[in-house]
Amino acid sequence: THNTERHEYDVVVIGAGGAGLRAAIEARQQGKRTAIICKSLFGKAHTVMAEGGAAAAMGNVNSADNWMVHFRDTMRGGKFLNNWRMAELHAKEAPDRVWELEAWGALFDRTKDGKISQRNFGGHEYPRLAHVGDRTGLELIRTLQQRVVALQQEDYETHGDYEAYIKVFSECTITRLLKDGDAISGAFGYWRESGNFVLFDAPAVVLATGGIGKSYVVTSNSWEYTGDGHALALLAGAKLINMEFIQFHPTGMVWPPSVRGILVTESVRGDGGVLRNSEGRRFMFDYIPEVFKAQYATTEEEADRWYTDQANNRRPPELLPRDEVARAINAEVKAGRGSPQGGVFLDVSTRLPAEEIKRRLPSMHHQFKELADVDITAEPMQVGPTCHYVMGGVEVDADTGAAAVPGLFAAGEVSGGMHGSNRLGGNSLSDLLVFGRRAGAGASAYVDRIPARPKVLAEQVDAAREEALAPLGRSGDNPYEVHHELQRTMNDLVGIIRKAEEVSEALQVVEKLKERVAMVGAAGSPIYNPGWHLAIDLRNMVLVSECVARAALLREESRGGHTRDDFPAMDPTWRRKLLVCSLGPGDGVRVEEQPQPQMRDDLLALFDGDELKKYLTDEEMAEFDGIAK
Ligand code: FAD
């Protein structure tokens, strides 16, 4: 293993966003020696960018809220494809995780009577998002980091070393997981700055690497989101589920071009903002789908009354789940009723006083002023769909976060199942806390349970080194060119609306790109070399893109974040099937159907038969009628 730097831990957490930090805190609290590794600076994870808030049925603003209502909303948002056990745990445990954050020092916005305030968001029946203005993610990360520091101070008291039980390795990228037989034995990576290699010897690894947005041109995601954890899991023999489901957030900036895709938070709509087309029409009233007709207002008057009287009015259609709103905007632009820069208008300026806008949406006000020279207190924004979140991810056990590979765990955006075919806004931050904690506990229990520590095998370390070094000095394709072609292909052919011919064409391109990725070259040395880093990331992006495209081709229906132009209806027989990706020989992606486990009876009984009929097959309904009686 040459002179590779080497560290030994009980639990290695890859990723320092909300999921990774919460997992690491849990592992340390269970007495495990824990490493936190992140490829960007500590504190600069995606979680920091989360604006709207964390969804938790605390019932502070409307006391009718409880875990059962939250569970129902989550299942509806995901069009019943969710792993119902995860949705159940999430809805039940989210309030405790938010209160715990407060106990660790988070300062949430308050209601008049001093409780944690909660705001409205798409798909949530009651005001449910605990928030800090529109900078909730920042406060969440700040608090978790502060908790890490507090634990390190405790460790200094007891062991005389701040890093005895929890240490952060930042600007360090993991490129391979290592195994001894079937089981995880560690992780291998490089320091971004020096290019030197580093080896972590550990029986348990928690993946908390976030999403895959950088495979698309127009995205709200930043440079780290290259699907590393998804690919690391696949390469280690784990499975990915639901990869066809990608969330296109309805409102990204469309102009100027340099910032296209940057997120405009859903809170703008939650706090009263409305969508209009070039004719000035509030077009969302034209797009309320059959399954949601009962819950949404049919007139502007009713929708507007809802903001002050939710008991007697139905919610505005601007607050439909994200997939519905994104498709509606797409359709308006296609029909020639878009804004000058190719989006639609999102207006809060005529809906709230300027001071109120600045108070509730300070970051949005700042973002538009700085980036687009638009004053959102005086004029509408122009917005359009942007690739935002991947519902698909590592298939895990709901209770422990365990993947199919012994010793491998996953939590947060890199895991799959919780959100089904579409995630509700605000359900990610709570997901990170609930399942980050569970994965940290799952990994700790695993370490306690195994009879012997798996060994790091020298030949695997050598192979990982060689693989990482291969692009350096090779006179192959330029990684930036290959990346751009991949992004365009995914954006144009496997985007918000899909067709069999286009997805097949994308697969052919991706196959060719896979060959080119194996030959990309990066000039220069390993010392701080972004071209080399991208060459390494491309392996992951191409693998993940292939999973998305293959699953998208197989699923012949439209549901949540997967819309097939050639199969526009939702099909109950497809709700019973999950598409599962794994790697075959030669790293070819294999996709197989797997039955979706039947929902537990007491959870099914939380729904009305009339509603279930829209999602379940006739056979399932017959069974349900049995339970209801
Ligand atoms: P992240 O926070 O992204 O952390 C990933 C970590 O993994 C990083 O530390 C990264 O450096 C590290 N990493 C990745 N690859 C490697 C590697 N190979 N080696 C080492 N480290 C690696 N959700 C909500 O619920 N409410 C909101 O209001 C909201 N707003 C959002 C706004 C924006 C602009 C965006 C982009 C997302 C928003 N989301 C929101 C979604 C939510 O923020 C993310 O889904 C969530 O933060 C993901 O958290 P995570 O812990 O899984 O990953």
Q: Which two tokens stand for residue 486?
A: 């991949």
What's residue 51's pLDDT? 84
Q: How far away, in angstroms, is 210 Cα from ligand 1 center? A: 5
Mean pLDDT (whole number) for 149-155: 98
Q: Which long-range contacts (CB under 8 A, 24 or more apart) does 612-616 make?
A: 614/290, 614/291, 615/79, 615/80, 615/291, 615/570, 615/572, 615/575, 616/80, 616/572, 616/575
Best of 40, 46, 171, 419 for a ligand 1 pocket test (most atoms within 8 Å of beta carbon): 46
Q: Is the pLDDT of residue 1 over 80?
A: no
What's residue 629's pLDDT? 58
DSSP at 51: -
Q: How far away, in angstroms, is 18 Cα from ligand 1 center? A: 7
User: Residue 101: CB partners within 8 Å, gap ≥ 6?
Assistant: 140, 143, 144, 433
Q: Is the pLDDT of residue 128 over 50?
A: yes
Q: Is the CB of 200 under 6 A from ligand 1?
A: no
Active-site residue identified among 128, 260, 322, 438: 322
What's residue 625's pLDDT? 79
What's residue 585's pLDDT? 86
Exposure string over 178-206, b if 16+ CB within 10 A, otherwise e:
bbbeebbbbbbbbbbeebebbbbbbbbbb
Determine the atom of ligand 1 nearest the C-alpha atom of 432. Answer: 51
Q: Is the CB of 426 under 6 A from ligand 1?
A: yes
Q: Which of 215, 589, 207, 133 shows the shortest CA–CA distance to 396?
A: 207
Determine the atom of ligand 1 nearest the C-alpha atom of 262. Answer: 34
Q: Which two tokens stand for residue 429?
A: 């931050």
Q: Is the pLDDT of residue 386 over 50?
A: yes
Name residue 210's amino acid. Answer: G
Determine the atom of ligand 1 nearest the C-alpha atom of 225. Answer: 14
Q: How far away, in angstroms, is 48 Cα from ligand 1 center? A: 8
Give per-residue pLDDT as tens, 329-342. 999 998 999 999 98
Mean pLDDT (whole number) for 424-438: 97
Determine the atom of ligand 1 nearest the C-alpha atom of 19. Answer: 51
Q: How far away, in angstroms, is 560 Cα from ligand 1 center? A: 21
Provide the ipTM: 0.99
The percentage of residues in the chain with a pLDDT greater than 90, rounded to a whole number, is 91
Give per-residue pLDDT as tens, 175-231. 999 999 999 999 999 999 999 999 999 999 999 999 999 999 999 999 999 999 999
204-207, strands of its sheet edge to edge: 166-170, 34-38, 11-14, 204-207, 408-410
Determine the atom of ligand 1 nearest the C-alpha atom of 540. Answer: 18
Q: How far away, in angstroms, is 211 Cα from ligand 1 center? A: 7
Q: Cα(201)–Cα(454) distance, rounded to whole angstroms? A: 9
Nearest-CA residue for ligand 1 atom 40 is: 50
Q: Cα(75)–Cα(422) distance, rounded to whole angstroms? A: 9
Give per-residue pLDDT as tens, 166-189. 999 999 999 999 999 999 999 999
What's residue 2's pLDDT? 59
DSSP at 117: P
Give per-residue pLDDT as tens, 575-593. 999 999 999 888 899 999 9
Nearest-CA residue for ligand 1 atom 29 is: 50
Q: How far away, in angstroms, is 253 Cα from ligand 1 center? A: 19
Best of 90, 119, 209, 234 for a ligand 1 pocket test (most atoms within 8 Å of beta carbon): 209
DSSP at 457: P
Q: Is the pLDDT of residue 3 over 90?
A: no
Q: Is the CB of 208 under 6 A from ligand 1?
A: yes
Q: How many CB atoms lie within 10 A of CB 448?
A: 11
Q: Is the CB of 423 under 6 A from ligand 1?
A: no
Q: Cα(622)–Cα(629) distance, rounded to whole angstroms? A: 11
Do 603 and 84 contact (CB within 8 A), yes or no? yes
Do 166 and 28 contact (CB within 8 A), yes or no? yes
Q: Cα(345)–Cα(56) distance, rounded to whole angstroms? A: 30
Give per-residue pLDDT as tens, 64-89. 999 999 999 999 999 999 999 999 99
Q: How far away, in angstroms, is 305 Cα from ligand 1 center? A: 35
Nearest-CA residue for ligand 1 atom 15 is: 209
Q: How far away, in angstroms, is 147 Cα from ligand 1 center? A: 19
Work out the mean pLDDT of the chain and round it to a whole number: 95
Q: How far away, in angstroms, is 390 Cα from ligand 1 center? A: 11
Q: Is the CB of 394 under 6 A from ligand 1?
A: no
> CA gyration radius for the chain?
24
Q: Is the CB of 210 under 6 A from ligand 1?
A: yes
What's residue 502's pLDDT? 96
Ramachandran class of 288: left when φ > 0, alpha when ψ lies in -120 to 50, beta otherwise: beta
Q: Is the CB of 224 under 6 A from ligand 1?
A: yes
Q: Is the CB of 46 under 6 A from ligand 1?
A: yes
Q: Is the pLDDT of residue 63 over 80?
A: yes
- The verdict on whether 72 is a catalytic residue reads no
Instruction: Please state, in angstroms and as integers, the Cα–Cα distance from residue 89 to each residue in 52, 418, 421, 543, 620, following that order.
Output: 22, 10, 18, 31, 24
Nearest-CA residue for ligand 1 atom 26 is: 426
Residues in the chain: 629
Q: Cα(64)–Cα(58) distance, rounded to whole angstroms? A: 10
Q: Is the CB of 141 under 6 A from ligand 1?
A: no
Q: Residue 467: in which H helix or E strand, if any?
A: helix 458-469
Band of pLDDT at residue 257, cut at 50, 70 and 90:
confident
Q: Is the CB of 412 under 6 A from ligand 1?
A: yes
